[in-house]
């Protein structure tokens, strides 16, 4: 039985005449209405934990552009905070967390079954959204993948090469693996509650998967994603899972089966033609227009958008960027991309 919502149809493996479309970071600082609501909330974390305002910013890009999916407004670093890490955001710089570098740091984290005390406002946001979204818009919940979340928990901030996380992995593998296991268990719990609250699809963001080399990629990017997907599928067989191991390059091949995911999200490091032949042959793909076109626009945007649509036109495809839209993007370029995809 074909499903009604286009995103769910693509995730079920259907090839659609026009790919459904949404955009990573679609609620964000390139939108004046986001900046206004964020100013009202105060800081970024207050916005994440305010269900009415978080639902409002989630809905803003749906109202403006009519995207086929809405992604819950939250952050991958709320889970570490719920596990007991200190978290704050430095304006213009990004996240800061208390660091975990040894067993003592790991021991300070709280039990997984207590994370809802912090995260319940997020579930409330999901509930509001499932009431208020248009009937044809799919609600996507999400979490960070364990490796990416661990890179922030170990370093206490974003790092260009994930050096501190690689160092802990190489110098104290038991603590590193115990941290990953804890995040994995927390993620299963967190995503389960999002689904209970009304998320119709979940996505795992592994932004730093590409820095895992050799066997580490299978052990610390693929395996935790497989474990989370399997646990969710056991409880919620009808909920599609999108995995986004960013920077995987040629290792994107075979990931539908290795992870058990319904969809593999592609960054812009692979060409759409390569990905159609090597990844989309196994199932739905999402992506992969370079985000910079949302800044630069014009003929390049139209040409590259058409290239992505064309390359993936013979299989299930959800149109998206290869990474999040940046604050310097022009909202008019987003409309141009959507019109180009929809052939208007
Ligand atoms: O996509 C969406 O619209 C949903 C909401 C969402 C946010 N972050 C909101 C956000 C999602 C899915 C994320 C995921 C996320 N968060 C990732 C994985 C995806 C990726 O971008 O690689 C990561 C690594 C984070 C951690 C994080 N959050 C960083 C490093 C930063 C600072 C960098 C930046 O862009 O400012 C954030 C802040 C953040 N998360 C913002 C938003 C809208 C900007 C905050 C602001 O309003 O100032």
Residue 19 CB burial class (10 angstroms; 0-12, 13-18, ≥19): buried
123 is catalytic: no
Residue written as token pair 């299978």: 218
pLDDT in tens, 20-64: 999 999 999 999 999 999 999 999 999 999 999 999 999 999 999
Over residues 87-116, mean pLDDT: 96
CA nearest ligand 1 atom 45, residue? 44
Q: Where are the domains of the chain?
A: 19-246+259-267
pLDDT in tens, 290-343: 999 999 999 999 999 999 999 999 999 999 999 999 999 999 999 999 999 999
The best mutation among 23, 24, 25 to test binding of ligand 1, ranked by most ligand atoms within 8 Å of the C-beta, falls on: 25
**Per-residue confidence band for 3, with pLDDT thresholds at 50, 70 and 90:** low
- Report the predicted TM-score, pTM, of the whole model to 2 decimal places: 0.97
DSSP letters of 137-194?
Answer: PEEEEEEE-HHHHHHHHHHSB--SS-HHHHHHHHH-HHHHHHHHHHHHHHHHHHHHHH
Q: Which backbone phi and psi does 280 adopt, to 5 degrees?
A: -65, -20
29 is catalytic: yes
Over residues 86-109, mean pLDDT: 96
**Helix 163-171 vs helix 146-155: crossing angle, to nearest 10:** 100
Task: Using alpha carbons, select from 247, 315, 319 the residue that is nearest to residue 281.
Answer: 315
State if residue 77 touches ligand 1 by the CB under 6 angstroms criterion.
Answer: yes
Residue 230 annotated in ligand binding: no
State if residue 38 touches ligand 1 by the CB under 6 angstroms criterion.
Answer: yes
* Mean pLDDT of the chain, nearest integer: 97
State if residue 207 touches ligand 1 by the CB under 6 angstroms criterion.
Answer: yes
Beta bridge partners of 140: 71, 201
State if residue 245 touches ligand 1 by the CB under 6 angstroms criterion.
Answer: no
Distant-in-sequence, close-in-space partners of 83: CB < 8 Å, separation ≥ 6:
109, 110, 112, 115, 182, 183, 186
Over residues 188-205, mean pLDDT: 98
**Is the complex ipTM higher than 0.90?**
yes
Cβ atoms of residues 180 and 150 within 8 Å: yes
Residue 225 three-state SS = helix
34 is catalytic: no
With respect to CATH, is domain 19-246+259-267 assigned 3.20.20.210? yes
Task: Using alpha carbons, select from 210, 314, 206, 319 the residue that is nearest to residue 269.
Answer: 210
pLDDT in tens, 209-220: 999 999 999 999
Determine the Cα–Cα distance for residues 287 and 23; give it in Å rounded to an integer. 9
Centre of ligand 1 to C-alpha 174, Å, is 29
Centre of ligand 1 to C-alpha 75, Å, is 6
């Amino acid at each position: 039985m074909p499903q009604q919502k286009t995103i769910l149809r693509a995730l079920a493996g259907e090839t659609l005449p026009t790919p459904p479309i949404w955009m990573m970071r679609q609620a964000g600082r390139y939108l004046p209405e986001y900046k206004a609501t964020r100013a009202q909330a105060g800081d970024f974390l207050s916005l994440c934990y305010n269900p009415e305002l978080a639902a409002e910013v989630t809905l803003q890009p749906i109202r403006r552009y009519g995207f086929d999916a809405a992604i819950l407004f939250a952050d991958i670093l709320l889970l570490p905070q719920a596990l007991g890490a200190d978290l704050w955001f430095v304006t213009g710089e990004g996240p800061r967390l208390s660091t975990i570098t040894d067993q003592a740091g790991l021991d300070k984290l709280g039990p997984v079954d207590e994370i809802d005390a912090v995260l319940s406002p997020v579930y409330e946001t999901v509930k509001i959204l499932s009431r208020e979204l248009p009937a044809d818009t799919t609600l996507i919940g999400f979490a960070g993948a364990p490796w990416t979340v661990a890179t922030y928990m170990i370093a206490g901030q974003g790092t260009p090469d994930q050096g501190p996380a690689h160092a802990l992995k190489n110098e104290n593998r038991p603590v590193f693996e115990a941290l990953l296991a804890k995040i994995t268990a927390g993620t299963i719990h967190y995503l389960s509650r999002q689904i209970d609250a009304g998320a119709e699809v979940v996505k795992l963001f592994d932004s730093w998967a590409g820095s895992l080399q050799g066997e580490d990629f299978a052990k610390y990017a693929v395996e935790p994603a497989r474990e989370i997907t399997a646990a969710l599928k056991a409880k919620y067989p009808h909920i599609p899972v999108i995995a986004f191991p960013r920077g995987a390059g040629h290792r994107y091949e075979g990931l539908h089966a290795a992870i058990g995911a319904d969809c593999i999200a592609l960054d812009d490091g692979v060409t759409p033609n390569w990905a159609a032949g090597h990844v989309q042959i196994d199932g739905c793909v999402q992506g992969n227009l370079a985000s910079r076109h949302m800044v630069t626009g014009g003929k390049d945007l139209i040409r590259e958008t058409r290239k992505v649509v064309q390359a993936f036109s013979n299989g299930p495809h959800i149109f998206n960027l290869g990474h999040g839209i940046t604050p310097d993007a022009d909202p008019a370029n987003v409309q141009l991309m959507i019109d180009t995809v929809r052939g208007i």
